[in-house]
Copies of this chain bind each other. A is one copy, B any other.
Amino acid sequence: MPNNSGARGPYKSGLKKQKLIIESAVDLLIDEGYHNFSLRKVSQRAGISGGNLQHHFKTKEDLLEAMLDSLISVYLETFKALSEGQIPPKERLRKILEHVILDLNSKSTTLIFPELWSLSNHDKRVSKSVDKMYERYRAVLKDCVAKINPKLSTLQIEKVALFMSASIEGHTIFIGYKRNWTHHTKSIIEMAYTSFLFLIESGNIPE
């Protein structure tokens, strides 16, 4: 019964509908890209009137923000899960790489992230949210890196985590859903693990 006890706040049916709207919106974003994204299409997918959509999300920007929050929260939870448990650090690194790189194969990730990158370049709010997500992403990596080679300085850890996460993201457009090199995903994981581990253990990272 979240914030619904008194006379204020959305009704239960309203919260459900908002979820439905966000799902419809994300599906549309995946299917058509942001340059073909419109509130009309969202309302059609959700099976509601345009007026009702605007009742739930005052503006397009509001809906976009809600979509972003919804999308990012999934990844944040994943990162949290990946940083929990008691596992040897190298093994954890492998697990992380396996998970995030395999995730690139998914339709949703393949199709949504390029939209986010593009939007980030033209919308401060989006860029802020995306930046924050990547920060959390790197935090998981940094924790892992520090445990593998405790001699690394903070700056070195920072840099290698940045290098790792950026390198991984770049594969989206090559091994993503229905892309040309999806079948090389396993090999990519191997090369990532091998080369990243070398960087970390050798300590050959600029200060």
- Flag if B162 contacts A35 (CB, 8 Å): no
In the complex, what distance in Å separates the CA atom of A35 from the CA atom of B119? 9
A162 surroundings in chain B (CB, below 8 A): 174, 181, 184, 188
- Flag if B199 contacts A204 (CB, 8 Å): no
For the residues of A in contact with B, the DSSP-based class is helix
- Flag if B110 contacts A114 (CB, 8 Å): no
- Flag if B33 contacts A118 (CB, 8 Å): yes
- Flag if A206 contacts B187 (CB, 8 Å): yes
Identity of the chain B residue whose Cβ is nearest the Cβ of A31 in the assembled complex: B122
CB distance from A7 to the nearest CB of B (A): 10
**What is the number of residues of chain A that contact chain B, defined by CB distance less than 8 Å?**
51
CB distance from A144 to the nearest CB of B (A): 17
- Flag if A192 contacts B163 (CB, 8 Å): yes
Contacts A33-B121, A114-B114 aside, 8 further interface pairs with beta carbons under 8 A come to A35-B35, A35-B122, A111-B121, A114-B118, A114-B121, A166-B175, A170-B171, A194-B199
A34 surroundings in chain B (CB, below 8 A): 35, 118
In the complex, what distance in Å separates the CA atom of A198 from the CA atom of B191? 10
Point out residues on A near B: beta carbons under 8 Å.
32-37, 110-111, 114-115, 117-122, 131, 134, 159-160, 162-163, 165-175, 180-181, 184, 186-188, 190-192, 194-196, 198-199, 202, 204-206
Copies in the complex: 4
> Which 5 pairs across A and B sit closest by C-beta, in order of nearness?
A170-B170, A167-B167, A114-B117, A195-B195, A35-B35
- Flag if A131 contacts B191 (CB, 8 Å): no
A-B contact pairs, 18 of them (CB 8 A): A33-B118, A35-B118, A115-B118, A134-B174, A159-B191, A160-B191, A162-B184, A163-B171, A163-B187, A163-B188, A166-B170, A167-B168, A167-B171, A169-B170, A170-B170, A194-B199, A195-B198, A198-B198
A163 surroundings in chain B (CB, below 8 A): 171, 187-188, 191-192, 195
CB distance from A167 to the nearest CB of B (A): 4
